[in-house]
Structure 1
Amino acid sequence: AAIDFTFIYDLVKDMYSEVGRPSIDPVILVKLTFIQYTFGIRSMRKTIEEVETNMAYRWFLGYGFHDKVPHFSTFGKNYERRFKDTDLFEQIFYRILMTAANKKLISAEH
Structure 2
Amino acid sequence: MIQKQQSIILSAYSEIYDLVVPKDNVLRKLNELVDFSFIYDELNDKYCHTNGRNAIDPIRMFKYLLLKTIYDLSDVDIVERSKYDMSFKYFLGMAPEESVMEPSSLTKFRKLRLKDKNLLNMLINKSVEIAIEKKIIKSNSIIVDATHSKARYNQKSPKEILMDRSKKLRKSVYEIDESMKKKFPSKSTTNKLEDEIEYCQKLMDVIKNEETISEYPKVKEKLNLLKENVNDDIEHLRIS
In the alignment, what sits opposite 2:61?
Answer: 29
Higher relative contact order (CA 8 A, sep 6+): 1
Shift of 1:6: 0.8
> Runs in 1 of length 4+ with deviation above 4 angstroms?
none
1:52 and 2:83 equivalent? yes
Normalised by the length of structure 1, the TM-score is 0.86
Percent of pairs with identical residues: 28
Correspondence for 1:106 among 137, 141, 144: 137
In the superposition, the TM-score normalised over structure 2's length comes to 0.42
Please list every run of 5 or more consecutive structure 1 residues that lacks an aligned counterpart in the other structure.
Answer: none
Deviations 1:74-98 (A, max 9, x none): 0111222111135221111111111
Distance 2:76 2:120 in 1: 19
Larger Rg belongs to = 2
Query: 2:140, 2:108 → 1: CA distance?
Result: 37
More helix by share: 2
Deviation (angstroms), 1:41: 4.2
- Counting matched residue pairs gives 109
2: distance between equivalents of 1:8 and 1:109?
25
